[in-house]
């Protein structure tokens, strides 16, 4: 069997979208699985919209996902170049073959004429197809017009009949040629069009399997027509379903993040996104959800790709991301959080001098509650700065005189403790609760509120250890003052001044 060669062919006119990333992933997996080659080709024939920075961005995102390619721009390879704008001579050669064999012809219709044709077709309620006016030109007429300097495009001469192909995922697809007009191969400016170049590139790069988005299904017959006109052998096609938003419309910014770079910025791990993308449209057995890259390489196959479009679920991605964050080692999560907090201006050099060493431990305590790295900021505010506000519900609950002696006791215990470690602190408070006949929780909850401002936190004693005696005492003392002040305010409210008449 011939070597498996697949390609991912993005156009550098924007960022790498998750749909594109999944297409790249499926191609990559297929190649790795088969021991074949994965080719990266840049489709930059749209000179207007193509930008080098988009190409760089796409490459960076692919690398971030860990999808490496065997041949591509800058890397090179035996069948390059791998940027379409650098392949002009190849297209010219193939075009010559088509025109000399009479499979393509010159078209001198102007935009205006075509626009008129299109307009009348629309008016008649029919779908537009090129009339084939210039197809009837004799070789002599055509030559004469060309010599006279008239601008011309080149069109494929599409014969009558139908094209049927067998898609690996869809099965047999048939399109009548009546549905296809003599489409343009080369624009009047001399630039080849997408359908033309993609076909030549795939053929010349010896691509064995074209795995791409469903949106190209309708283009496939056109491309097959070109392969045939050129006498090239056909690759196998596999059209994977599109990714939609939660409302079943095409996924876009409107739905939330849709570019790979955005997911990265929001604190998703590449292995989580990759795992999720693999599950969108593919499954192993309907039961296994967690896949490492190596698992995927071992298990992936195109015949388990579904036919129907899938809705992107941010919730499920988050679940996977949380799973991989929990699984990741602490150092890595710390580094990612650090980077995030720094970029978000939540920490600076001053902070790092003071609180830097404890930050790592702090992040360790919240690690298994993070769904994304960007959650970290919210979860450790009481560590990053002072406590300015308190959970309203909890505050109301502890806004009672009974809280005061409890916290005063807490202060005493904290002041008293020499070995300021989570373990000994907890032991101490267990003892105190026994001595005082109060429940352990009766100390813990108000203490947590005073120290973190929250009703929920990671292991409180660990936090106390990390925050240090001084800060905890200050916060408890201040909380006591606040309770007292609020309570006395309450009293004066109880005896309101007589209403003014």
**Residue from 3, 249, 436, 481 in contact with RNA (CB under 7 A):** 249
Query: What is the DSSP pairing of strand 37-40 with strand 236-240?
Result: unpaired
**Residue from 74, 89, 308, 389 in contact with RNA (CB under 7 A):** 308
Cβ at position 420, least distance to RNA in Å = 15
Under a CB-based contact definition with an 8 Å cutoff, are residues 36 and 3 in contact? yes
Applying the rule CB under 7 A, the residues between 1 and 30 that interact with RNA are: 11, 13
Which CB atom, from 8 or from 36, has the smaller least distance to RNA? Answer: 8
Q: Taking Cα atoms as reference points, which of 134, 179, 173 lies closest to residue 161?
A: 179
Helix (H, G, I), strand (E, B) or coil at 67: coil
Piece in contact with RNA (CB under 7 A), picked from 24-32, 182-190, 262-270, 411-419: 182-190
Cβ at position 100, least distance to RNA in Å = 21
Q: Is residue 327 a contact residue for RNA (CB under 7 A)? A: no
Q: Taking Cα atoms as reference points, which of 221, 202, 98, 93 lies closest to residue 154?
A: 98
Q: Is residue 129 a contact residue for RNA (CB under 7 A)? A: yes
Helix (H, G, I), strand (E, B) or coil at 367: helix
Q: Is residue 269 a contact residue for RNA (CB under 7 A)? A: no
Q: At what angle do helices 440-452 and 469-494 cross, to 10 degrees?
A: 100
Strand positions, DSSP E, 122-258:
153-156, 162-167, 171-176, 184-186, 209-213, 236-240, 243-244
Applying the rule CB under 7 A, the residues between 78 and 107 that interact with RNA are: 84, 107
* Angle ∠(127,250,312) on CA atoms, nearest 5: 155
The Cα 330–Cα 360 span in angstroms is: 8
**Residue from 79, 132, 145, 191 in contact with RNA (CB under 7 A):** 191
Which CB atom, from 319 or from 351, has the smaller least distance to RNA? Answer: 319
Which residues are bridge partners to 211 per DSSP?
238
**Residue from 79, 204, 297, 309 in contact with RNA (CB under 7 A):** 309
* Encoded tokens for 317: 């991605």
Cβ at position 495, least distance to RNA in Å = 36
Which CB atom, from 162 or from 485, has the smaller least distance to RNA? Answer: 162
Q: Taking Cα atoms as reference points, which of 236, 243, 219 lies closest to residue 25?
A: 243
Cβ at position 499, least distance to RNA in Å = 42
Cβ at position 191, least distance to RNA in Å = 6
Q: Is residue 289 a contact residue for RNA (CB under 7 A)? A: yes
Applying the rule CB under 7 A, the residues between 201 and 220 that interact with RNA are: 214-219
The Cα 235–Cα 35 span in angstroms is: 17
Q: Is residue 328 a contact residue for RNA (CB under 7 A)? A: no
**Catalytic site residue 253?**
yes
**Residue from 101, 116, 119, 306 in contact with RNA (CB under 7 A):** 306
The Cα 27–Cα 36 span in angstroms is: 10
Q: Is residue 378 a contact residue for RNA (CB under 7 A)? A: no
Q: Is residue 174 a contact residue for RNA (CB under 7 A)? A: yes
Strand positions, DSSP E, 108-189:
153-156, 162-167, 171-176, 184-186
Applying the rule CB under 7 A, the residues between 421 and 480 that interact with RNA are: 426, 440-441, 444-445, 448, 455-462
Q: Is residue 75 a contact residue for RNA (CB under 7 A)? A: no
- What secondary structure does DSSP assign to 328-362, as a single string? S-HHHHHHHHHHHHHHTTS--HHHHHHHHHHHHHH
Q: Is residue 111 a contact residue for RNA (CB under 7 A)? A: yes
Q: Is residue 250 a contact residue for RNA (CB under 7 A)? A: yes
Helix (H, G, I), strand (E, B) or coil at 209: strand
Which CB atom, from 302 or from 352, has the smaller least distance to RNA? Answer: 302
**Residue from 131, 193, 417, 424 in contact with RNA (CB under 7 A):** 193
Piece in contact with RNA (CB under 7 A), picked from 66-74, 256-264, 306-314, 332-340: 306-314
Which CB atom, from 433 or from 487, has the smaller least distance to RNA? Answer: 433
Piece in contact with RNA (CB under 7 A), picked from 61-69, 174-182, 328-336, 484-492: 174-182
Q: Tokens 């490496």 belong to which residue?
A: 68
Applying the rule CB under 7 A, the residues between 357 and 376 that interact with RNA are: 368-369
Under a CB-based contact definition with an 8 Å cutoff, are residues 61 and 260 in contact? yes
Which CB atom, from 264 or from 448, has the smaller least distance to RNA? Answer: 448
Number of residues written out for the chain: 501
Q: Is residue 400 a contact residue for RNA (CB under 7 A)? A: no
Q: Tokens 């409210």 belong to which residue?
A: 493
Q: Taking Cα atoms as reference points, which of 9, 473, 29, 435 lies closest to residue 213?
A: 9
The Cα 198–Cα 192 span in angstroms is: 10
Q: Read off the DSSP letter of residue 82.
A: -
Alpha carbon 67 to chain centroid distance? 14
Applying the rule CB under 7 A, the residues between 138 and 167 that interact with RNA are: 151, 153
**Residue from 131, 318, 381, 424 in contact with RNA (CB under 7 A):** 318
Q: Is residue 184 a contact residue for RNA (CB under 7 A)? A: yes
Cβ at position 305, least distance to RNA in Å = 8
Which residues are bridge partners to 5 per DSSP?
37
Residue of 51, 97, 253, 298 with catalytic role: 253
The set of catalytic residues is 253
């Amino acid at each position: 069997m011939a070597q498996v060669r697949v390609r991912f062919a993005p156009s550098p006119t924007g960022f790498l979208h998750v749909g594109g990333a999944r297409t790249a992933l499926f191609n990559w997996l297929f190649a790795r699985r088969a021991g074949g080659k994965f080719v990266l080709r840049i489709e930059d024939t749209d000179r207007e919209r193509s930008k080098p920075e988009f190409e760089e961005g796409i490459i960076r995102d692919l690398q971030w996902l860990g999808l490496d390619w065997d041949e591509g721009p800058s890397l090179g390879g035996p069948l390059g170049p791998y940027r379409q704008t650098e392949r002009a001579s190849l297209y010219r050669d193939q075009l010559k073959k088509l025109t000399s064999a009479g499979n393509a012809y010159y078209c001198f219709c102007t935009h205006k004429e075509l626009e008129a044709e299109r307009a009348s077709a629309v008016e008649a309620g029919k779908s537009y197809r090129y009339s084939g006016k210039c197809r009837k030109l004799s070789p002599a007429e055509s030559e004469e017009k060309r010599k006279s300097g008239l601008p011309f495009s080149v069109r494929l001469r599409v014969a009558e009949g139908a094209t049927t192909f067998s898609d690996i995922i869809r099965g047999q697809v048939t399109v009548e040629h009546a549905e296809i007009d003599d489409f343009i191969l080369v624009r009047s400016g001399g630039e080849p069009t997408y359908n033309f170049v993609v076909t030549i590139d795939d053929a010349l790069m010896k691509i064995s399997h074209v795995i791409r988005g469903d949106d190209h299904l309708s283009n496939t017959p056109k491309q097959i027509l070109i392969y045939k006109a050129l006498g090239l052998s056909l690759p196998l096609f596999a059209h994977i379903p599109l990714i939609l938003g939660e409302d079943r419309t095409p996924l876009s910014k409107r739905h939330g993040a849709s570019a790979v770079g955005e997911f990265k910025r929001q604190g998703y791990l590449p292995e989580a996104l990759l795992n999720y993308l693999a599950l969108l449209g593919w499954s192993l057995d309907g039961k296994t959800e967690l896949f490492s890259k190596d698992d995927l390489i071992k298990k992936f196959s195109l015949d388990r790709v579904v036919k129907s479009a899938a809705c992107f679920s941010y919730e499920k991605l988050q679940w996977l991301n949380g799973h991989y964050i929990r699984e990741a080692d602490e150092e890595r999560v710390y580094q990612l959080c650090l980077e995030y907090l720094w970029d978000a201006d939540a920490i600076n050099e001053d902070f790092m001098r003071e609180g830097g060493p404890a930050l790592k431990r702090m992040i360790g305590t919240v690690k298994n509650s993070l769904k994304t790295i960007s959650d970290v900021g919210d979860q450790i505010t009481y560590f990053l700065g002072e406590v300015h506000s308190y959970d309203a519900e909890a505050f109301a609950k502890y806004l009672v005189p009974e809280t005061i002696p409890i916290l005063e006791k807490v202060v005493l215990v904290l002041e008293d403790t020499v070995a300021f470690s989570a373990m000994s602190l907890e032991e101490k408070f267990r003892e105190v609760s026994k001595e005082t006949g109060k429940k352990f929780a009766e100390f813990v909850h108000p203490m947590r509120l005073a120290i973190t401002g929250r009703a929920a936190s990671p292991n409180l004693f660990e936090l106390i250890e990390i925050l240090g005696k001084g800060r905890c005492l200050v916060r408890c003392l201040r909380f006591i003052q606040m309770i007292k002040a609020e309570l006395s305010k309450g009293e004066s409210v109880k005896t309101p001044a007589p209403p003014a008449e």
